[in-house]
Amino acid sequence: MRKIFAILFTVITVFAIKETVYIFTSTDADIANQRSQLELTALSITVPLVILTLWLWISSRKIKQH
């Protein structure tokens, strides 16, 4: 079950990282008007997802070793 969650959160995290990079590199007028708010929102979603995904993968390796 933990591996399924790890795979699911990995897919979600990759999508969130892709969207975060798009927000930081976009020159679209709508995004440029709200850039600071969108950057804060994107980072506040992406950083916890990355931490959760890393924790899920690292923990599953430790369980297999024991």
Number of domains in the chain: 1
Helix (H/G/I), strand (E/B), else coil: 16: helix
pLDDT at position 62, please? 67
pLDDT digits (tens, 9 = 90+) for 32-61: 899 999 999 999 999 999 999 999 998 766
3-class secondary structure, 15: helix
Residues 6+ apart with CB under 8 A from 12: 49
Report the alpha-carbon distance of residue 55 to residue 52 in Å, rounded: 5
pTM for the whole structure? 0.82
Cβ neighbours of residue 9 closer than 8 Å, sequence gap 6 or more: 49, 52, 53, 56
Question: How many Å apart are CA 7 and CA 27, to the nearest integer?
Answer: 32
Q: Which domain holds residue 52?
A: 1-63
